[in-house]
Every structure is written in C-alpha cells, then in structure tokens.
Amino acid sequence: MTKKIERFLAEQKPATPCLVMDLDVVADNYRRLHAAVPRAGIYYAVKANPAPEILKVLGKLGSSFDTASVAEIDMALATGVSADRLSYGNTIKKKSDIAAAYARGVRLYAFDSEAELGKIAEAAPGSRVFCRILTSGANADWPLSRKFGCDVEMAKKLLLDAAKRNVIPHGVSFHVGSQQRDPGQWDSAVEQAAWLFRECEEAGVTLSMLNIGGGFPTRYRRTVPGMAAYGASIEESLSRHFGNRIPDIIVEPGRQMVGSAGIIQTEVVLISKKSEDDAKSWVYLDIGKFGGLAETMDEAIQYPIVSHRTGAPVPVAIAGPTCDSADIMYEKADYRLPADLEIGDKLEIRAAGAYTTTYASVAFNGFEPLKTYCI
Ligand SMILES: *Cc1c(COP(=O)(O)O)cnc(C)c1O
C-alpha cells in the first residue's frame, strides 16, 4: 500500500471493485529491473496491464514493448514509441495479423514451428525472427507449460531453415514460467540457447539475440528473492555458457513491472456459514475469478488480502459474486480475516496490478469489467 493510493481511496471513494495503480511504483520497478540486468533491452509484456498511462510511463523511461496481437501493437504505438521498439512475441498469429503488424512497421517476430515461420516469411518479408524453445516451467507458480516453444533440435532446424527464406534468423527466446521463484531456473535454458548459437554458427548462420523472457516475480503472500538475485544468477549463466561472446539480451517482464504497483479495493457482499458448526466463514466479495482474479485458479496466485479491522483472525473461504461455482478464490489455502469483519466492509487485495484487468470478463452475470485508476 502506498501513501498515494491510500490518499486516493480515502478522498475519491471510488465505486468498487476497482484497481488503483501507482505509476511511481511502476517506474521504480522499471529502474530496479534495469539495475539488475543492465545489459538487457527491456520489452514490457503489454498483456500484464495495458493501461495507456502505464505504457506511456514505460515508453518515456526507454522501454520497448512485447505484444501479442494487432490491438496490443496499436496500444504500444499510441504511446508514441516507434515500431522498431516492438516485438510480436506471440508464437500463434494469423497471417493477416502478421501482415497488419508489418504494415505498421513491426520487424521482429517470434515463432516455434515451421508453419508459423512460413507465415512470417510470406507476410513480413525481411523481418528478424527468433525461435522460442521449450522450458520445464519448474518452480513457477504460473507455469506456461508445453503450449509454447519447441525442443532445441527442432529450433536448430527451423533457424537454419529461416536463413534460406526471406527473413533474418535473429536469435532464440524462452520463458521460464511466470512468478518464477527460483533465479536458478534461467541457467538450463541459457545453456540450451548457447548450444543453439554454436550449432547455428557451425552451420554458417550467426545469431545475435537472446530473449530471456519474463517470469520475474511480484511479492504476494510468500516472500520472493529480490531482483538483484535474478540479475546475478542470469549474468553468471550468460558468462558461463556464452563466455566472452554474450549476444544482445532482451527481457520481457510483465508481472514484475506492474504487480506490486496496484491494489484492488473490493467490498464484502456477504458473510455466511454452511452449517451452525461450520469452522470456516464464507466471505463473498464484489470481485471474483471472472472480475479479474483469474490467477486464483487452483489457488496458484495468493494475493495478500487486508482488512482494516483489528479483530482476531479467523479462517475463511473467499469467493466471488457470480452464479458460477468455479468462482471461489481460496478454499484450501489458509486465509484468515478479522472475526469482526462486516458486510459492506472494504478489503484491499494487494499486489494486484498484473493480470487482473486483462483477465476480467466483459459482463458475466452483468458485472462490469474491472475499472482502473492510474495515479
Ligand atoms: C506473458 C509473457 C511475458 C511476461 O511474463 P511475466 O511472467 O509476467 O513476466 C513475457 N514474454 C512472453 C512471450 C509472454 O507471453
């Protein structure tokens, strides 16, 4: 909770639920990441929170942008940055969207399959392309699984193929899984990337860029290592595996940049029990899985939830307001709220600046998408 957000909530009394983003914290997070990995070009992953004010602040600080659709490309361009500061990092793109990105000046594209490489070569001739490799996603609270990337043997074949087409094989990317709590997880991916660089070089194709993805964490209920630990671990891996030939490095932070900068204010709609002797109270909020808290799926992301009351903490289950039984945020995780909590109370859901507004449904049960205030 920052003083600025506290004052805004006290003075403006906005309708709930709402997300309040402190832009100073976003700027701090940018500087912290830059200090931790000074050699890396920063491409903010727009999907984490695309509020125009946030994109503007980051653009001014020198950030580039990782986008996944034509709409995100347009949001990034609307801040005034030029198209050469954008990458189209989604490995799953319609050919018509690649053509639209190309028309806007985007010249950097991700792929992880032969078919996607073919689409890029045809719709974005002359562009630089990078191949995404698979990672295990181990130790990440929000792993990205096997949906993205290919194995290194296939990546080698694809990058050598790219050299024969009308595109420039530029480099390699990976993502170690979001909310990655282990700074050591970059090492094996960097090692595999270095192997790929060498193999391609031997085959006459020189790669020049390594994109080490996002994954840097936000502090939720559990402590996480600081950015310096990630920076040190990554730098050591780069030196160990690339020696004195470290390529240009790109990072694509999402969660780290905006997570800690936002607080959702929510209202308690109902407090109830399922039987007279129920040990747990059920606390129903005016926000749930469909209103922006989708990352509570399997209770993966556990936001700190804070009440201003001072009663003894008692165990609670916490659920959303919709008529869908999946709309329960926390039932297994040990959440406690003050015994004197009342219907109508406001609660703060902290560290909620990433992956909330973009995950809110348009009107499930008629509930509006999550409103954002950037201050
Ligand atoms: C979502 C995404 C990111 C951002 O990931 P975080 O874990 O939020 O940092 C970076 N790169 C790509 C390709 C992504 O899809």
Give the pLDDT score at 143: 84
pLDDT(137) > 90: no
Q: Give yes or no: residues 359 and 322 share one domain.
A: yes
Q: What percent of the chain has pLDDT over 90?
A: 96
Please tell me the pTM assigned to this model. 0.97
Determine which residue's CA is closest to atom 5 belonging to ligand 1.
214
Euclidean distance between CA atoms 138 and 177, whole angstroms: 7
Q: Give yes or no: residues 29 and 131 share one domain.
A: yes
Ligand 1 centroid to residue 178 C-alpha, Å = 7
pLDDT(160) > 80: yes
Among 42, 172, 175, say which to mutate for ligand 1: greatest number of ligand atoms within 8 Å of CB: 175
Final residue in a domain of this structure, among 194, 225, 258: 258
pLDDT(97) > 90: yes
Ligand 1 centroid to residue 144 C-alpha, Å = 9
Q: Which long-range contacts (CB under 8 A, 24 or more apart) does 95-100 make?
A: 95/119, 95/122, 95/123, 96/123, 97/69, 97/70, 98/123, 98/124, 99/123, 99/124, 100/70, 100/73
Q: Give yes or no: residues 91 and 181 share one domain.
A: yes
Give the pLDDT score at 1: 84
Q: 296-349, pLDDT tens digit by residue?
A: 999 999 999 999 999 999 999 999 999 999 999 999 999 999 999 999 999 999
- Indicate whether 264 belongs to any domain: yes
Give the pLDDT score at 273: 96
156 in helix, strand or coil? helix
145 band by pLDDT with thresholds 50, 70 and 90:
confident
Determine which residue's CA is closest to atom 15 belonging to ligand 1.
90
- Indicate whether 2 belongs to any domain: no
Euclidean distance between CA atoms 360 and 369, whole angstroms: 5
- Indicate whether 7 belongs to any domain: no
Q: Give yes or no: residues 248 and 356 share one domain.
A: no
Ligand 1 pocket, Cβ-based, cut-off 6 angstroms? 45, 47-48, 66, 89, 175, 178, 213-216, 252-256
Among 26, 252, 260, say which to mutate for ligand 1: greatest number of ligand atoms within 8 Å of CB: 252
Nearest ligand 1 atom to the CA of 180 is 7
In sequence order, the 6+-apart residues with CB closer than 8 A to the CB of 204 are 163
Nearest ligand 1 atom to the CA of 216 is 9
Q: What percent of the chain has pLDDT over 70?
A: 100
CATH number of domain containing 362: 2.40.37.10
Ligand 1 centroid to residue 204 C-alpha, Å = 31
169 band by pLDDT with thresholds 50, 70 and 90:
very high
Q: 43-70, pLDDT tens digit by residue?
A: 999 999 999 999 999 999 999 999 999 9
Q: Give yes or no: residues 168 and 45 share one domain.
A: yes
Euclidean distance between CA atoms 253 and 92, whole angstroms: 20
Q: Give yes or no: residues 88 and 75 share one domain.
A: yes
Final residue in a domain of this structure, among 240, 258, 276: 258
Q: Give yes or no: residues 248 and 268 share one domain.
A: no
Q: Give yes or no: residues 270 and 251 share one domain.
A: no
Determine which residue's CA is closest to atom 13 belonging to ligand 1.
89
Nearest ligand 1 atom to the CA of 354 is 8
Ligand 1 centroid to residue 213 C-alpha, Å = 6
- Indicate whether 290 belongs to any domain: yes
Among 135, 178, 356, say which to mutate for ligand 1: greatest number of ligand atoms within 8 Å of CB: 178
323 is catalytic: yes
Q: Which domain holds residue 276?
A: 260-374
Nearest ligand 1 atom to the CA of 68 is 15
Q: Which of 18, 131, 323, 374 is catalytic?
A: 323
- Indicate whether 17 belongs to any domain: no
Q: Give yes or no: residues 276 and 209 share one domain.
A: no
- Indicate whether 125 belongs to any domain: yes
Q: 189-211, pLDDT tens digit by residue?
A: 999 999 999 999 999 999 999 99
Q: Give yes or no: residues 273 and 210 share one domain.
A: no
Running DSSP on this structure, what letter comes out for residue 133?
Answer: B
Q: Give yes or no: residues 227 and 345 share one domain.
A: no
Ligand 1 centroid to residue 199 C-alpha, Å = 27
| Largest separation between any pair of C-alpha atoms in the chain | 74
pLDDT(139) > 90: no
- Indicate whether 338 belongs to any domain: yes
Nearest ligand 1 atom to the CA of 177 is 7
Ligand 1 centroid to residue 278 C-alpha, Å = 41
Final residue in a domain of this structure, among 258, 273, 288: 258
Q: 119-134, pLDDT tens digit by residue?
A: 999 999 999 999 999 9
Euclidean distance between CA atoms 222 and 175, whole angstroms: 22
Q: Give yes or no: residues 176 and 227 share one domain.
A: yes
Give the number of domains in the chain: 2
pLDDT(181) > 80: yes
CATH number of domain containing 148: 3.20.20.10
- Indicate whether 19 belongs to any domain: no
Ligand 1 centroid to residue 197 C-alpha, Å = 23
